[in-house]
Chain A
Amino acid sequence: MALKIVKGSIDRMFDKNLQDLVRGIRNHKEDEAKYISTCIDEIKQELKQDNIAVKANAVCKLTYLQMLGYDVSWAAFNIVEVMSSSKFTYKRIGYLAASQCFHESTDVIMLTTNQIRKDLSSPNQYDTGVALTGLSCFVTPDLARDLANDIMTLMSHTKPYIRKKAVLIMYKVFLKYPESLRPAFPRLKEKLEDPDPGVQSAAVNVICELARRNPKNYLSLAPLFFKLMTSSTNNWVLIKIIKLFGALTPLEPRLGKKLIEPLTNLIHSTSAMSLLYECVNTVIAVLISLSSGMPNHSASIQLCVQKLRILIEDSDQNLKYLGLLAMSKILKTHPKSVQSHKDLILQCLDDKDESIRLRALDLLYGMVSKKNLMEIVKKLMLHVDKAEGTTYRDELLTKIIDICSQSNYQYITNFEWYISILVELTRLEGTRHGHLIASQMLDVAIRVKAIRVFAVAQMATLLDNAHLLTGNVQRKGICEVLYAAAWICGEFSEHLDNPTQTLEAMLRPKVATLPGHIQAVYVQNAAKLFATVLKSQEGNTDSTAAQETSQLMIDRLPLFVQSANLEVQERASCILQLVKYIQKLQQKDVEIAEEVIALFAGELNPVAPKAQKKVPVPEGLDLDAWINEPPSESESEDEQPRAIFAKEEPKHSRPRHTEVDEKELAKRREARKQEQANNPFYIKSSPSSQKVYQEAPGVEHIPVVQIDLSVPLKVPGLPMSDQYVKLEEERRQKDRADKKKKEKKKRKEKRSGRGKRHDSGPESEEDITPAHMVDIVTEEMPENALPSDDDDKDPNDPHKALDIDLDNLMEMAGRRPLADSEKLPVRSHRAAEVLKSPAQDGDAESAASQEPKKKSSKEKREKKKDKDRDRKKSKEDKKKKKKHKHEEKGEDLLGGQAEEPVVQSEATSEVAAPPTSTTAEVSDLDFWLSNAPVPSNTQEAATVVAAAEAAPTSEVASGTAPDSEPDEPKDTETEETKSSKHKKKKQKKEKEEKEKKKKKKHHHHHHHSDGGGEESVQNGTVEEEEPLPPMSNYCLLAENSYIKMVNDIQGNLQDGSQVVVSVIFENKCDSFLKSMEFNVLDSLNSKLQRPEGSGPHDGLTVPFQLPPGVSNEARFVFTMQSIITPQKLKGTLTFIVKNEDSSTHEKLDFKLHFTCTSYLISTPCYSDAFAKLLESGDLKCSSVKLEGVVMPFHHLLARICFRHHFSVVERIDSCASMYSRSIQDHHVCLLVKTSGQTVSIDAKCDEPTLLGNVLDEIKQTFSQC
């Protein structure tokens, strides 16, 4: 055996390693392929050997060959072998090879599941790391499903190196196995606050990726991200978060308002350009989202534009590029602020960098106005001439057309100019966009009636000079223009000056070299022209001219009849026969022109591109149903080739031959116009000046503005657009002068006559009147067209599956627990009874763990809270109502949103378990978004202040004197009468609750202990055993004859330095207690959070008053520096006792005791993670013995769980491991053993002081009983 190994290794010495292979390839430059194929043969031999080192070497070489483009999938199995080596060196080679060439359809992947699982749980962190890295590249749905649970466990690994990789890979797992998102999300969210910056950054990364695709599901995380944004210093994290906010703001404008300030601060303070840029970007997104609501952010816009200008002016091309990119975003909503930088952008058009020129072009699109369109396009035309490389030139061409045609030709004042531009563009060499120019020509000629004369003349010239366009083979694309030219000349032939000449031009033999579809149009339109020519010639006495024309047709058409193109052939032969017949009639001197003309009578209107789609399916028609029995064989369906200009063709054939007389036609047209006007789905042109023309009845009767031209309009040869710029300038001046004169003369008349148009445009624009009476014919839509959103998402988008509502999960963990089907699959061979199901998804567990100790007291508290909220809400409602009349609808909508969650929580608090305090508090987005002055994200704190704020105003509003609030029901009843219907229901519910509460009041002292026994301790460990004695964590804080205070302290998981103190105040006397003020003396370590603006010694107003016998709860937030030792804070409660005749000032001193326990948060822990934690060796040990404890073991555990916020990890007989975590992420592990009356607790924690204190506290708990 040893010999074999030695032999193998000696062999290996003669093998090529990667370096040899590379060297060999470099030495065989001429016959590389051959050399590599011999190498591959060698590799195949090596793979057959048993020695794993040899195999690994071979696989390493294969990875290199894969990069060179060789398929190495045949070695997939060997790669798996190398992956499963126990040596890290080979394992890494194997995983690298797998990550480079495995993919979903690699079948050996399914063999890897167990190997990967083994590596994931390897004690060596780099084995785990390498497996995670590899897996991230080739994870399949199967792997994702099978390994999701293992990876989830790794997310809480002790090593940050593993944690960050595990967190990051979860995104890939979600993509492949979307069901894992819900169960994994709570833990992912937790990782946002991981102490390690790398892990935190990974979590931010993953959530940002998730949120980018389905932002609405992550809105509730906004407060958390906001906190991260204001606290983090890691630019990577900041950039990601800021980008995420950019995606969230469009969904929640209130978020935007909150963001503006910190973002502006960042913009001012940061030196990192990348961060600055992303801030500007997000501010822009915010401004866009706000632009509808409040336009009052000009300062922010100015700041952005100003910063962007700096970027654009920078010599660094990258910054210039990004500046332009961001500028184009502002442009969409605030074009004015960008337009002032036109100089800069035009300058960028001259940049040597194409990327920058393209960006600048994008910007131009939004910067045009009626005033500067001609100027800008002129500049672009210059660039077109100068441009090198067809891509950029084509881009310019499309941009020119885009710019001119945008919003229904809104900015074009002179269509002659535009047609000239189009004609000029046909001179471009080698453009691919001939069809684009053509469709523009058609569109303009059809839709702008006034331009037809000019257009037809230009097109005739084009046809005449067709050889210029077709001469060069390279110019193939541009000949599409002839398609348009021919059609326009034919269709509007009545405007032609010299139709015979054009007809001649269209029938030249050279035409036969054009593409078939163009020839077809030529032939068809030659026929139309022919009809016109006939008509003009028949009017003359000389009939020979007409006959000559017919002869011309008969001579030339046979050329087309022979065409290889079916369409051309068919049309040509049809028309040829027709002309022959006409010739016959002509010879008999029959006047035939009228009849021929009738063939082509009627007008073609453009049909909207979506018209066909919008035709509603008639009722009762099932398009999918078979009309006949399904055929036995599938017949080939020959689809009709689509015409290129499908848009211009009417979708239902219009009767061309009109027997109906003119009157009838006019009538129909009128009816149609009427219908279109009333049809909401009919596309009307934008509310620009054109609209006025369109609406005005009888366009023809509007006197066309006469253009005083020094140059004749019909330019011989091809037109020059430049002249129009000058002409336009003159015209405008003249216009202005005219108008002034008119204004002086008769103001009133003008107002009534043209006022309408003046309203439509912005001020600067309205002075410019179009040169032509532009009748932009709108596109036709079918009757009853249905409005529809066409922006369907790609059904194959993997992110669609991740559109999962996570709010439910986070806010109301108790309400909608994860369904069985949503649990992550666990390996089944694990002993189910030992493993306290890590599969029991994180959140449900944490909910469960918090429930037992909280529920009893919470139930009642919840109701009170609800009542409070309700009261507050109804007051707010009323306020809102008052506002209603004056405010925009948007405000109302917001109000409605804000109400919703309250309603929800109210409805559910009755049926389901109350939400866990921490999660519910943080995720209540609405409270966070309402501008609470306390910068804490604790809902209660926000409520407290909000309520305090709301109280005085609403009291004034409701007209109730603040002091005469005898009891609540009455108060709410008065409000009830005023409030709307839907609220009445709520009020009823509220009343019911109140009644319940009243009943409960009798046993008030025990209220917080009810129901405690129903709850099991943890993970169902003690369910079957005898019920637990009632427990409560509320302990007496202070008491006198007037008032009693009990309190409970809870750490805040979201913020390692925050602790929430809930105090229940109970009025024990017969008087009314009011103006309660809660104050403590801050220590260096712990401080009471006070609202902004108040001094460090000011008290906090308790946001309620207490009628006799009533109790209520308030929460106060404290910030802590260190949590490892217990602390006591002295405090005072001052209040006024109001009797019917007198009122006295009273005070009550108390001592708030922050135990170390109160910093612990019960956190579920999986047994394997727990074991790892203990193994890691980072923890300090300590132990304690309790003597004489007489209680069942499960009671003991329950007590520790409840009093000290632990959770049971595992319990075996009389031994249990327990876990808890402090708010500053110290791990505390306990091993509790009992024998007889002795209980020994071994404990481990990474902070010995904290551990000592916690143990002392546990000891005390048991010494008391």
Chain B
Amino acid sequence: MIKAILIFNNHGKPRLSKFYEHYNEDTEQQIIRETFHLVSKRDENVCNFLEGGMLIGGSDYKLIYRHYATLYFVFCVDSSESELGILDLIQVFVETLDKCFENVCELDLIFHVDKVHNILAEMVMGGMVLETNMNEIITQVDAQNKMEKSEVSLTLFDIYS
């Protein structure tokens, strides 16, 4: 199971947080801070696994993260997930974002966090991996966006008619 997915930048500013278990807002912020603290002090060329987040998880949990330019993508997972598999998943996630936003950068995530959530929802659901095939994910995301667009034009039509 995936317990949480966090994206924050090099300064620890959250860009997306998705918790699959309930915490109150304060704890969530603490977790983000703690995770940032743990992850940011690591060198670039060390392994991507980290044990010992105090607030989230416990002995069975690991932090698996990747660092892309200004952003950290962190997954907190338990032992039922394959470590290397999750690393691949992060890669798929980032590549999907790249496709959907066309050369994704931090600004895209800052201004369109809702879209990022929608993409993520096609990959991970309730803490379990739903889909790993990038094309399938993009197809579903596009179809939904198309629907949204048609609804918007309908709305305008409603208003002005």
Interface residues, chain A, with chain B CB atoms under 8 Å away:
5-6, 9, 18-19, 22-23, 26, 53, 60, 63-64, 66-71, 87-89, 92-93, 96, 100, 103-104, 124, 126, 129-130, 132-133, 136-137, 139, 161, 164-165, 168-169, 171-172, 198, 201-202, 205-206, 208-209, 212, 235-236, 239, 243, 273-274, 277-278, 317-318, 320-322, 352-356, 358
Indicate which residue in B22, B51, B85 contacts A103 across the interface (CB closer than 8 Å): B22
B134: Cβ under 8 A from any A Cβ: no
Task: Report chain A residues within 8 Å CB of B47.
Answer: 317-318, 320-321, 353, 355-356
Task: Report chain B residues within 8 Å CB of A273.
Answer: 84
Task: Report chain A residues within 8 Å CB of B26.
Answer: 69
Among B14, B84, B147, the one with the most A-chain Cβ atoms within 10 Å of its Cβ is B84
Tell me whether B82 and A126 are in contact (CB under 8 A).
no
Task: Report chain A residues within 8 Å CB of B126.
Answer: 133, 136-137, 139, 168-169, 171-172
Tell me whether A71 and B140 are in contact (CB under 8 A).
no
A103 nearest CB neighbor, chain B only? B22
Task: Report chain A residues within 8 Å CB of B43.
Answer: 352-353
B69: Cβ under 8 A from any A Cβ: no
Tell me whether A70 and B25 are in contact (CB under 8 A).
yes
B125: Cβ under 8 A from any A Cβ: yes
Which 5 A-B pairs rank lowest in CB-CB distance, beginning with the nearest?
A: A136-B126, A274-B84, A317-B47, A103-B22, A353-B46
List 16 additional contacts besides A87-B151, A171-B126; criterion CB under 8 Å. Answer: A66-B25, A69-B26, A71-B25, A93-B114, A96-B118, A124-B147, A126-B143, A133-B121, A164-B131, A168-B126, A198-B136, A202-B130, A209-B1, A209-B128, A318-B49, A320-B47
B50: Cβ under 8 A from any A Cβ: yes
Tell me whether B147 and A352 are in contact (CB under 8 A).
no
A96 nearest CB neighbor, chain B only? B117
Tell me whether A136 and B125 are in contact (CB under 8 A).
yes
Task: State the Cβ distance, B118 to closest chain A Cβ, in Å.
Answer: 7
A105 nearest CB neighbor, chain B only? B22
**Docked CA distance A270–B67 (Å):** 27
B132: Cβ under 8 A from any A Cβ: yes
Q: Decide: A243 near B80, CB < 8 A? Known: A60-B114, A236-B132, A274-B88.
A: yes
Task: State the Cβ distance, A245 to closest chain B Cβ, in Å.
Answer: 13
Give 14 pairs: A residue, B residue, CB < 8 Å, sorted on A.
Answer: A18-B111, A22-B111, A66-B25, A71-B25, A89-B148, A168-B125, A168-B128, A198-B130, A274-B84, A278-B82, A320-B47, A352-B43, A355-B47, A356-B46
Tell me whether B114 and A236 are in contact (CB under 8 A).
no
**Docked CA distance A168–B46 (Å):** 34
**Docked CA distance A88–B25 (Å):** 28
Indicate which residue in A104, A274, A321 contacts B22 across the interface (CB closer than 8 Å): A104
**Docked CA distance A322–B24 (Å):** 33
Question: How big is chain B's contact interface, by range?
Answer: 35 or more
Q: Decide: A89 near B84, CB < 8 A? Known: A96-B117, A168-B126, A169-B125.
A: no
Q: Decide: A274 near B130, CB < 8 A? Known: A67-B16, A209-B1, A243-B80.
A: no
**Docked CA distance A171–B2 (Å):** 13
Tell me whether A67 and B131 are in contact (CB under 8 A).
no
Among A104, A139, A355, A356, the one with the most B-chain Cβ atoms within 10 Å of its Cβ is A355
Residues 16-54 (chain B) with a chain A CB within 8 angstroms:
16-18, 20, 22, 24-26, 28-29, 43, 45-51
Indicate which residue in B14, B20, B50 contacts A67 across the interface (CB closer than 8 Å): B14
**Docked CA distance A209–B147 (Å):** 34
B47 nearest CB neighbor, chain A only? A317
Tell me whether B20 and A137 are in contact (CB under 8 A).
yes
Tell me whether A18 and B114 are in contact (CB under 8 A).
yes
A72 nearest CB neighbor, chain B only? B25
- B119-161: CB near A (< 8 Å → 1, else 0) gives 0010001111111110010001001100110011001001100
Task: State the Cβ distance, B11 to closest chain A Cβ, in Å.
Answer: 12
Tell me whether B110 and A67 are in contact (CB under 8 A).
no
A389 nearest CB neighbor, chain B only? B41
**Docked CA distance A133–B129 (Å):** 12
Tell me whether B14 and A5 are in contact (CB under 8 A).
no
**Docked CA distance A206–B80 (Å):** 11
Task: Report chain A residues within 8 Å CB of B1.
Answer: 209
Tell me whether A88 and B88 are in contact (CB under 8 A).
no
Q: Decide: A209 near B80, CB < 8 A? Known: A88-B144, A165-B130.
A: yes
Task: State the Cβ distance, B77 to closest chain A Cβ, in Å.
Answer: 12
Task: Report chain B residues within 8 Å CB of A103.
Answer: 22
Tell me whether B132 and A277 are in contact (CB under 8 A).
no
Task: Report chain B residues within 8 Å CB of A22.
Answer: 110-111
**Docked CA distance A879–B64 (Å):** 54
Task: Report chain B residues within 8 Å CB of A23.
Answer: 111
Task: Report chain B residues within 8 Å CB of A130.
Answer: 121
